[in-house]
Chains A and B, each alone.
Chain A
Amino acid sequence: MSQTFDDISRQLGRRHRRSARLKWISMSALGLAGLFLLWFFSDMLGKGLPAFQQAYIKTTIQYSQQASQDGRKAIDQALVPLVSRTEVRGIPRLLRNQPARVGTQEFRWLLTKSEVDQYLKGHRHTLNAQEQADIQRRVDSGQIALRFNAAFFTQGDSRIAESAGLLSAVVGTVMTMIVTLSIAFPIGVMTAIYLEEFAPDNWFTQIIEININNLAAIPSILFGLLGLAIFINFFGVPRSSPLAGGMTLALMTLPIIIISTRTALRSVPDSIRHAAFGVGCSQWQVVRDHVLPLAMPGIMTGSIIGLAQAMGETAPLIIVGMVAFIPDVGASFTNAATVMPAQIFTWAGEPEKAFVEKTAGAILVLLAVLISLNAFAVVLRKKFERRW
């Protein structure tokens, strides 16, 4: 006996309900993930954005003879408790380097102590009521104000919170990434070309392939140990240097570049290879003239993503000594340096309240760099996407 539509609909009701339920579960999972992300971003922005502003005080600096011995003599004595120690210390140094300035005077913005800055931003501070009233009066008269924090981007790390900046970490990151990319990119791409285009398919190449895939899943701190044991202890590469860190990160980036390059090479259709072989290309000419140009966008995308991952890596760098207090911008690849995530790690451990917003600010900068790198990779992939 055949079933009527009503019979079938009754049975189907349960199935429809189940699929609707699953749909809601998956949608709420997505919603939850989005919520966490939103929370994270708003927290970071809330904590980090104030770091891009800093309290400055506008005053006249008397470059007197006395000031070249003691910077405090150059400014109004009432302001000495408010002005940052780095500014005060800088005055004698300035006069030593430029003796001609002795006897002149200057009217400009000086960094205040972080206590003033924290008070202005409404954070926790240790100022007493009298000091607060004094500062409030100067704020009202416009002598103290929150201004764009140039020091955050133009200075290196400092123990003094108000003048701690990211520059040494940014330069360290750039140098480390140059080392990483110049090692990992050629080795990774050539390895992938060999495995994909030249190597015979036998147990040996299969073992290599399995191991490369496993390498991508190894905890990154182990690469740090390897870097310490081989590059620093065996080859004598200077500790804490961008060279040591870059080489260690190159080990970590290598499998990512190899895997993405192989995928990109594999996506080039065989018809192109056949066409090239058909006109008498050698194996290398096939790769160089036909396969590689087509695979290049994919290779670039993979390399950028690998680079972004290396840029956010901290654990292996702890072991090769790049998590350190580096106040000066590194001069060469063998000098001690630090990188952005390591700087964040260092600042996060500082007890002073002012470093909390520095930490969040540095995280924002790092996130912005990583997001723009990934966006660039996406744009690259979309732009050169090819349909066969």
Chain B
Amino acid sequence: MNNPVKNNPWLGTPLPGTQAVGQPLTINEQACHELSIRVRDLDLWYGTNQALKSLNIDLFQKNITALIGPSGCGKSTFLRCLNRMNDLIPSVSLSGLVEMDGRDVNSSKMDEIALRRRVGMVFQKPNPFPKSIYENVAYAPRMHDLVSRKVDQDELVEQALRDAGLWEEVKDKLQAPGTSLSGGQQQRLCIARAIAVQPDVILMDEPTSALDPISTATIEDLMDRLKNQFTIITVTHNMQQAARVADYTAFFHLGEIVEYNDTRVMFSTPANKKTEDYISGRYG
């Protein structure tokens, strides 16, 4: 089988679409870059309106990949393809391959619940359940039978909240409603909720766009720490954020991936004129 990673002369370098031109990473960086999700010829339509056009991209484990691009370019739509949240929209139809762990996630054999268990999601607007802080984190692991005893559950909740950097702030009020927290805390609670089921991948759909700058910085630090354990794919409108936190960046435009590369390379020497214009703020 044609493995695009192994057959790539630059092992570990993102295999960009046909248009995008990649540049090599240093050998050191290549070592830890294992394939997480492989996307080939992904087309997606809302009714008759094509939103994604023949996307090809390799997403790497334990890295942060940022998806940037102007509004309506399909980056959020693409993100939702990775855990099949688009299933919830009746008019969506898609073709092409989204492969994770050797399996086509869109095949009829793939259970979307199993997929979402391994691919967690954090949304644009913090949306904790209107339950207690504890219950927000404990709900999903209990539902997936990851814990049975109360002690294990307590431990798991504490660990998830620690990983999300929220434990110190909420340890004394675990029974308070999740919605009583500030916006930034709520978003970290949502991250804790996502990591509590130990997924492989965390999708973040503009996780800081509804937050103030200080909360944003906290979340960015958190993302940087979490990438040691999880593959993070984040959509962002904020190019500085992409430059700060992402290892790889993909630039979307009109439903296509124009350029996909190591973030430092992309932001210093973009290969495509459109990318350059977008990054330098000429449109978007």
Contacts and interface: CB of A to CB of B under 8 A. Distances in A.
Interface of A: 200-201, 271-282, 285, 289-290, 294, 386
A280 B143 contact: yes
A42 B88 CA distance: 57
A278 B117 CA distance: 8
Nearest to B193: A279
30 contacts: A200-B90, A272-B127, A272-B130, A273-B88, A274-B85, A274-B123, A274-B127, A275-B123, A275-B128, A275-B129, A275-B190, A277-B88, A277-B116, A278-B116, A278-B120, A278-B121, A279-B116, A279-B120, A279-B140, A279-B143, A279-B194, A279-B197, A280-B113, A280-B117, A280-B143, A280-B197, A281-B143, A285-B143, A289-B143, A290-B129
Contacts of B63: none
- Residue of A273, A278, A285, A290 contacting most chain B CB atoms (<10 Å): A278
Interface in B81-121: 83, 85, 88, 90, 113-114, 116-117, 120-121
Nearest to A293: B130
Given A275-B123, A277-B88, A279-B116, 10 more contacts: A275-B193, A277-B85, A278-B83, A278-B116, A279-B139, A280-B113, A280-B117, A280-B197, A285-B143, A294-B130
The 4 A-B pairs with the shortest beta carbon distances in the complex, nearest first, are A279-B140, A278-B121, A271-B127, A280-B116
Contacts of A275: 123, 127-129, 190, 193
Contacts of B225: none
Contacts of A289: 139, 143
Interface residues of B, number: 24
Interface of B: 83, 85, 88, 90, 113-114, 116-117, 120-121, 123, 125, 127-130, 139-140, 143-144, 190, 193-194, 197
A274 B120 CA distance: 11
Most chain B CB within a 10 A radius of its CB, from A275, A289, A290: A275
B249 to A, nearest CB: 24
Nearest to A201: B90
Nearest to B88: A277
Given A275-B123, A275-B127, A280 B140 contact: yes
A28 B123 CA distance: 52
Nearest to A275: B127
